Amino acid sequence: MNQRRSASDSHLPLDSRCGERLHYLRSKDYNSLHTTSFQLSDYTMARECLSRGRAARGAAAALVGMVYWGRTTILRDHIEDNTMPDFLPTKRLYFDDAYLRAFEARVVALTEWRGQPAAVLDATALYPEGGGQPADAGTLAGVAVRDVQEQDDTIYHVLAEPLPAGVGDSVAGEVAWARRFDHMQQHTGQHTISAAFYRLCGADTMSWHLGAEYVSIDINAKDLSDAALAEAEHLANTILWDDVPVTAAILNRDELAALDLRKGTDRADGIRVVSIGDFDRIGCGGTHVLTAGRVGAIGLRRTETRGNQTRIEFVCGARALADYRAKTGTLNAAVASLKVRPEDVVSQIDRLLAQSDEQRRDLTDLRRTLLRYEARDLLADPAGSVADRPVVCRRLDGRDMEALRTLAGQIAEAGGVALLAGAHAGKAQLAFACDKAAPLDLNAALKAALPLVGGKGGGQKSQAQGGGPEVAGLDAALAQAKQQILG
């Protein structure tokens, strides 16, 4: 990454004051301090100690620590390998207050993220994409933040244009609140519904997705009944109605041992656990509402069996209200159109579909009867004969391919040879047919005619069809087929 550094961020001269700096670092108890207490100047000193040799690196490794996510991380491996990161881990203000909408922070670096301008701050209230939750949107110094990404505990704010500020400057940031609160509702709702399926069905949530329209979880259970789904949905909503507190705490392994987590974690230490009252506890780095009631509501939309798992789509909060409004509007429109009560809509639709199927069958039978009469009339005026079979060669515009093919079949059943063509919906169509005993190759005749309409198609010797976009060549194509058959 390219980055612009101010003079204050460059390495200080390596002089005899290195020992003094180590003494200064030794005097600070970073294990008991918050990230913001570990200043950029302290970090610069520690980096300088690396270049003074192994002894200085060892001293720095023993002395320097940083607190992020509310836990202490010693940079021992980085320091011993002389690979100390360029930036301090970004202070995550949303961990302290997920409802923080505006903040101020200092610019640590102006850089790029995948070719787009980006800024690194010493602290941010903007959530980076991760853990299934999309990134926040917002502004920095009035510039739109298009994306927020994290790498090595450093948060990069991807900008619509370069930031009008320099390294070391303080900038004002704002969180796009509607998007953030929506994500908080969906994420806390996801924890709640996942816990409900875990408690009722013993099903673990294997993955989850927070999309623009709905949320989905994949659980390791299948063949869930409607009653089981309704029970889980009801249980999750009772937790919202009880409005239990939603809390987050950074815990170590010993503290975790006393808790019943829904799902374990591979983190060695400093694990952030989100609790929904006593109903659910799980490791999570996302943003959540203060109490379960602020999720609003949880509504299941649909399920899909995927192997040994079930994908469950649902919506929470404002999305649940929007979903309810949309479906109520659809139901009311159906009630008005069908002139029945809401509870009778489905049965009425079933009756109408059954009637429609019956009418469609009747209509098909009538069309076949009419086509049989039409085939008889066409056979009475053939274009010639071949192998003692009358040949009908006609252009019939305005019929779709199904009607054209059916008529050709009727002519073949009556003992004739059909060479039919027609223009429909701006396309040229050809349908040929004869009985299977006829010594003819209608597929070869079709292949000879198709180039004249710029088309394609195929079939068998006794039946072939095709078409193309060049309607102007349709008459010539039909004449070519006639020549092929009658000579």
Q: Give 449's contacts (C-beta < 8 A, 6+ positions apart).
A: 430, 477, 478, 480, 481, 484
Helix, strand, coil % in the chain, rounded to nearest 5: 40, 30, 30
Q: How far is CA 57 from CA 26, 75, 281, in A?
A: 13, 11, 40
Please state which architecture CATH assigns to domain 91-175: Beta Barrel (2.40)
CATH of domain 181-326: 3.30.980.10
Write down the domain spans for the chain. 7-80, 91-175, 181-326, 367-486
pLDDT of residue 41: 52
Cβ 61 vs Cβ 76: under 8 Å: yes
pLDDT of residue 7: 31
CATH of domain 367-486: 3.10.310.40
Q: Using CA atoms, how far apart are residues 176 and 146, in angstroms rounded to an integer?
A: 11
pLDDT of residue 117: 96
pTM of the model: 0.69
pLDDT tens-digit readout, 237-276: 999 999 999 999 988 888 887 888 888 776 666 789 999 9
Cβ 95 vs Cβ 128: under 8 Å: no
Question: Length of the chain, please?
Answer: 487
pLDDT of residue 259: 84
pLDDT tens-digit readout, 162-220: 999 998 899 999 999 999 999 999 999 999 999 999 999 999 999 999 999 999 999 99
Q: Which long-range contacts (CB under 8 A, 24 or more apart) does 253-262 make?
A: 262/194, 262/195, 262/198, 262/204
Q: Using CA atoms, how far apart are residues 390 and 24, in angstroms rounded to an integer?
A: 109
pLDDT along the chain (487 residues), means of 10: 36 41 47 40 52 46 38 41 59 95 94 94 95 96 97 92 92 98 98 97 96 96 95 98 96 82 74 94 95 98 95 97 96 95 95 94 91 94 95 95 94 96 96 96 95 94 96 96 92
Q: How far is CA 22 from CA 11, 39, 46, in A?
A: 15, 15, 8
Q: Using CA atoms, how far apart are residues 191 and 133, in angstroms rounded to an integer?
A: 12
Q: Using CA atoms, how far apart are residues 102 and 397, in angstroms rounded to an integer?
A: 68
* Domain pair 91-175 / 367-486, same fold: no
Identify the CA nearest to 226 among candidates 299, 303, 298: 303
Cβ 167 vs Cβ 108: under 8 Å: yes
Cβ 57 vs Cβ 49: under 8 Å: yes
pLDDT of residue 260: 83
